Amino acid sequence: MATKTIATKIVQVNEEGFMTNPAEWTKEIAAEIAKEDGIAELTAAHWKVIEFCRKEGMTSGKAPTLRQITSGAGVTTKEMFALFPKGPAKKVAHISGLGKPEGCV
Amino acid sequence: MTEQTRKVAFICSKGDLDMAYPALVMGWAALGNGIDVTIFFTFWGMDMIRKTRQDHLEVAPLANTAMKMSMMGIKGADNAGIPNIMGMLPGMTAFATKLMKDKMKTLGVPPIGEYLQMMVDGGAKLYACKMSVDMFGLKKEDFVDGVIDIVTAGDFMDMTEGAQVIFI
């Protein structure tokens, strides 16, 4: 398993750069990965989504799908694509330290 | 960043409930992964974007060799076909359609209209085929809001330059 140093912390990642141990995740790591994904600053709206994903991910062990996020976190699809442009499904999971979402919707 | 955004275009030509979903599922996955999505609706595929038809797509058991009794809820009947004579009975298409819709609902898959709206919100571009529109005697107002325009096949070719095209 590969490791990567993100925000001065060494974490385990898979070949696509997704963290494999969600317990290693910190808010600083999230901010760092967000920058890597083209999001300069995480706002309160971003955190609302990330926190929902963290909660879901820690209970189910899986990253929620986009539709689970929009229906669960009270964010619209439009907002999701505006907050995490160009691939919100992947980006949110990436930033939240979870694997890629496994569902199709 | 010199990397070009990947583009996918779907041509939806079918108006059956089961044939409506492939483009929706794949298109939604594409948007979620940051891929540009364009959908061109032609022929019966236009039913997916017609206000009066969108929520009434059906799946028919008649002459559908892949649809087996097991799908009608009879356990273990994977290879027992639905006799065509049964498929002919009034109500059979409605029954099969209801079963499929219920199944989709339990899986959390939204109905066609809601799915397409979600995709439009995610940036998918929807177009109707000019020739089909003329043939069916339709107008732009007959389509749901997300449909950008009625375009020719040539326009479609122009707007999908460099895209991967999937015909359904």
* Across A12-21, A36-45, B46-55, B150-159, least confident range: A12-21
Which of B27, B72, B69 has the alpha carbon at shortest distance from B168?
Answer: B27
Residue B12, in any domain of the structure: yes
Determine how many CB atoms are found less than 10 A away from the CB of residue B166: 16
Catalytic-residue membership of A53: no
Residue B144, in any domain of the structure: yes
Cβ burial, residue B8 (10 Å; 0-12/13-18/19+): buried
Name the domain count of chain B. Answer: 1
Residue A89 contacts B, CB cutoff 8 Å: yes
Residue B1, in any domain of the structure: no
- A40-53 residue pLDDT tens: 999 999 999 999 99
Residue of chain B whose Cα is closest to the Cα of A83: B122
Report the relative pairing of strands B147-151 and B125-129 from DSSP bridges: parallel
Residue B162, in any domain of the structure: yes
Residue B28, in any domain of the structure: yes
Return the pLDDT at A1: 67
Which of A79, A68, A39 has the alpha carbon at shortest distance from B123?
Answer: A79
The CATH number given to whatever domain includes residue B43 is 3.40.1260.10
For B161, the domain range is 7-167
Residue of chain B whose Cα is closest to the Cα of A88: B32
Number of A to B CB contacts under 8 A, please give it: 46
Q: Is the pLDDT of residue B2 over 70?
A: no
CB within 8 Å: A81 and B121: yes
CB within 8 Å: B34 and A87: yes
- B16-50 residue pLDDT tens: 999 999 999 999 999 999 999 999 999 999 999 99
pTM score of the predicted model: 0.88
